[in-house]
Structure 1
Amino acid sequence: MNNFKLSRKLSVIVLFFIGVSFSKAQTIPPKTSDFWSKVRYGGGFGLAVGNNFTDITLAPGAIYDFNQYVSLGFGIQGSYIKQRNAFESFIYGPNMIILGNPIPELQLSAELEQLRVNTTFQNGFNSFKDNFWNTGLFLGGGYRTNNVTMGVRYNVLHNSNKNVYSEAWMPFVRVYF
């Protein structure tokens, strides 16, 4: 009889713990971060192919929307450019961008870019290399609609003698999803 009472008590205890473990009434849902819901991805891709000329650029990036007015982002850029019998260049590096949207249609930007430039020039008989770092600080503005912004930016650190870009003013199209 004692074994019966003991097994009955054990059965009640086991059923109690099973019931508690499957109970959802007192379960507190885990706190989830909304960080990734505020991250948008985008970037750029460029391809220019012509008579003895190739230019391929890939520039992925991501931005974090702090609110509807301010975003901060980071990206990388890589380019391969070749003009047959003239030069070949590899350009790569990181960038950082701050976006401001005072009104939904207007986007202001400040973009810092640090690029490594490795170029080999050829003139038929000789070749020489020009390797350097190029820093650009672009201030810009554009018209924004949904995920796309079109505008113009100005490189305040532009140096005509040693620069990746031939001009300080540059148009841009930015897309972030």
Structure 2
Amino acid sequence: MKKYSFSSLTKLFSIVILLFFYENVIAQYQQTPHSVNPFWSKVQFGGGLGLSFGSGYTDISIAPSAIYNVNPYLAVGLGLQGSYVSSKGYYDSGIYGASFLTFINPIPEIQFSINLNQSYVNNHYEAYHNLPAYTDNFWNTALFLGAGYRAGNVTVGIAYNVLFDENDHVYSDAVMPFVRAYF
């Protein structure tokens, strides 16, 4: 068995104590409330994901967003969206865009929303019933006014697109149910 001198044990003990206090000091520094930027403490991230598959039908969408809580009654934010829809033998569509979001909470359980959405739409239709195949590319603006019930970070509700036009071939209806969550 190897013997250790008092000075080598003292050095080893000093190094262990120094590392212990160093880690403790770093941990305390990282947990102080002053180290968090006040702006980022009011930011929440959320969004939506959608997947739908059927017989020859595919619908994939992603819509990340971020909001800034101005106060307990008002939040504003930005969102992105991307979706791909395909019905085999009939059409496929790609929609890409951005949203400006406003959420108003008169009481904690009720949330009103304003969602201004600008999207680029790329629809491609296959030849069907003696009609030739064609592609339809355009910009679409939607303004959704919504109301929902809020429980914690999740809101469930319904929104109405006041700019809905059935000839746009973007949304199938002016009314759209929603579930949104922000963390």
TM-score, normalising length from structure 1?
0.80
> What are the superposed Cα offsets for residues 65-93 of structure 1, whole Å, 9 maximum, x if unpaired?
01110000101000011111101111000
Give yes or no for the alignment of 1:44 onto 2:44. no
- Tell me the secondary structure at the aligned position of residue 41 of structure 2: helix
1:126-154 Cα offsets, whole Å, 9 max, x none, are 31001111100011100000000000000
Is the 1:142–1:151 Cα contact (8 Å) retained in structure 2? Answer: yes
Among 24, 31, 37, the alignment partner of 1:33 is: 37
Question: Match for 1:97: what amino acid?
Answer: L
2:172 aligns with 166
Q: Partner of 1:61: helix, strand, or coil? A: strand
Larger radius of gyration: 1
Task: State the percentage of identical aligned residues.
Answer: 51
Alignment of 1:143-162 (within 5 A): 143-162=149-168
Superposition RMSD in Å: 1.4
Match of 2:19 in 1: none
Extract unaligned runs of 5+ from structure 2. 1-33
More helix by share: 2
Tell whether 2:115 aligns with 1:111: yes
C-alpha displacement at 1:160, in angstroms? Answer: 1.4
Q: Gaps spanning 5+ residues in structure 1: where?
A: 1-29
Task: Give aligned pairs, total.
Answer: 148
